[in-house]
Chain A
């Protein structure tokens, strides 16, 4: 199955390349056969947005452990975000992370910082990083606050594009003055819980500014992890205007609302914050109508020591690589096995009493997609945005590099944090039963995951 739809077929792989796709292939004796009965054979998934924590945060994750988690989640390529320590703001650090990724269980691409130290003051050496292979630049973790600096970055990136390096600037849209120290979505729940809120306007103001800058410069911007109805609508209008913008959404913004914070469990602290039910529906609608191009994990590991603290003192972020496909399939497709999440048990405080849990799991709450459309959000479209389309994202045709994910779209499984390959445990989905399971992952012809087990 690819972005263009699917058909029933066997896929032959030789020396890391797809050599035949046909309804019934004859096999030579001695050929290794992967059973894909009842499954969808998809291009390997591509994640535009993963925090690998290396260098500098190896207690939470390493490139190796993140790539293992990625392979188990069906990914064959992940883009490493630059908010490491030191940050990825020079060719030297780009090379270091790329070399850490060599031999990992998924291909590792690197995003470089837009500004030195991600401090928002001075342009980072984007040309030298582009020469080292970087195609996405972002200060993710923070947005570029200074509109003048962002404009210069776009002009500079435009110059790189003119010489054939198809770079894109990716923005974490949050006006820090409007966010003003907030730790969750500003609204009903932040007001009840007495937690400082991040208003939707903090995201939307920067989306609107950057759309104006795209209109001004003609240089594309990719919007990271959009979370508000207003931001989705701004991107929808920009696209209808023909502007060069793309956007992603994180799985948790498809299935969780700010009400999940009601028990003050730091597992639900994330940035952008979990928004309202109306925002969840709007984001899903944006996915359905093509406003949103990709689902990206925002995989953000944190060790238990830093996460098991009062809510406002915990760093924002959730694991995502091993659950993204299943969460997205459960949320957006109709399926026989329905997903479920533990109700009051996980959040014993306010939600039980006030009704609801902040979990919007089932498809049918708004948009419903078919499995192929969901896979396109996780394969072809992110591969294209990341400049990885040569080797990743399909289509699975003769001659394609054999990066493949075999997924059983109806298998159900229950998320057990202790069973995750990530070095961290900060998943918000503990105990959730999800529909859609990765059976095999093939990286350049090598089966790195077989029957849902990592092979190395």
Chain B
């Protein structure tokens, strides 16, 4: 892309098999592998003194967050800026949404300004599917829809895990390919029922060949697990001894999940990763958490500070992974993204050229 295509005049064509990223299922195993590999290249960019490439110069990315967020929004905006895209940020609280403008009209208005990508978070499951139906040309990225999915979170979790395993093996992460997930045992703990992170993780980990299990209070498991490639671990203490990865989920009090357990204290006692419970983990097991973390509820403070807790590293990696997502959707028109290299030799790092 980078050498021949003119990013200003190039039409925003589909570069991957899907025009949007609404679900991890849009990617499949090969698509996930592609995101992780491209993200590795961008992680290298991030380590430079001037961590910025001109890849998406002239493209406009809008973040439309109809629900609160700190890390996801900042992460997407940072990613877009490091790709030299212009970033618009709709502050819902001060926008026409407050005047009663419908979601559809808001989307069409924003898109009419020549937006190339809409990064959408909404409290309604499936809202991004609706946005994708309305969008005429923009690519839609699901940044979290209700209880449904949070694809970029699951992808950065995969990226982080591969990175850790590569470090231990003393090899570059990309050289591990995607097979490093084969047979890995991953346990997701907590409020599965209301968790968009869990739904995306299950799809991603399963696509990569990992063996996925879930644990949590019965009232916080999905009403049906038909079609879910998971097993339920009834005994958390026992399950912890047998896994490579523990994915902790936050108790989502704002979604009413507090009423699904008798008390947070009881939750912590039976389902929290306390120090006692963390000591049962197999050597080498790691813990992920999508944040924000409620210390003392789903994870004890001292466990949160252990080296095996990857939460901070997940946040760091989020930027590179989201750069990869934006690149694969918006970049390299007409080229095979599998062959494209985001930062090929000879590309000038656009020092001082960015005004966006």
Contact = CB atoms under 8 A, between A and B. Distances in A.
Please say whether chains A and B are actual partners in one complex.
yes
B228 A191 contact: yes
A24 B287 CA distance: 85
Interface stretch (A128-136, A289-297, A307-315, A326-334): A307-315
A199 interface: yes
20 contacts: A186-B224, A191-B222, A191-B225, A193-B125, A193-B148, A194-B126, A194-B146, A195-B126, A195-B148, A199-B223, A308-B104, A308-B130, A309-B102, A310-B122, A310-B125, A311-B130, A312-B125, A312-B146, A349-B129, A350-B23
A309 B66 CA distance: 14
Contacts of B122: 310
A350 B23 CA distance: 10
A354 B228 CA distance: 12
Contact of A311 (B125, B194, B224, B228): B125
B130 A309 contact: yes
Contacts of A336: none
A192 B227 contact: yes
A188 interface: yes
Contacts of A312: 124-126, 146
A353 interface: yes
A47 B33 CA distance: 56
B102 A191 contact: no
Interface string A175-199: 0000000000011101111111101
A264 interface: yes
A212 to B, nearest CB: 27
B289 interface: no
10 tightest A-B CB contacts, nearest first: A264-B126, A194-B147, A194-B148, A310-B124, A191-B222, A188-B226, A194-B125, A310-B127, A264-B129, A191-B224
A263 interface: yes
B221 to A, nearest CB: 9
A14 B261 CA distance: 71
Interface residues of A, number: 26
Contact of A350 (B25, B104, B145, B226): B25
B249 to A, nearest CB: 13
Interface residues of B, number: 28
B121 interface: no
A311 B124 contact: yes
B102 A195 contact: no
B104, B130, B225, most chain A CB atoms within 10 A: B130
A195 B148 CA distance: 7
A305 interface: yes
Interface string B179-210: 00000000000000010100100000000000
A327 to B, nearest CB: 25
A290 to B, nearest CB: 32
Interface in B122-162: 122, 124-127, 129-130, 145-149
Contacts of B222: 191
Interface in A318-371: 349-350, 353-354
A349 B22 contact: yes
Contacts of A191: 222-226, 228
Contacts of A196: 147
B129, B145, B228, most chain A CB atoms within 10 A: B129
A266 B146 CA distance: 16
Given A195-B147, A264-B130, A350-B25, A186 B125 contact: no
A266 B122 CA distance: 16
B103 interface: yes
Given A186-B223, A190-B224, A191-B224, A310 B130 contact: yes
B103, B125, B196, most chain A CB atoms within 10 A: B125
Given A194-B146, A309-B103, A350-B25, A187 B223 contact: yes
B130 A194 contact: no
Contacts of B124: 310-313
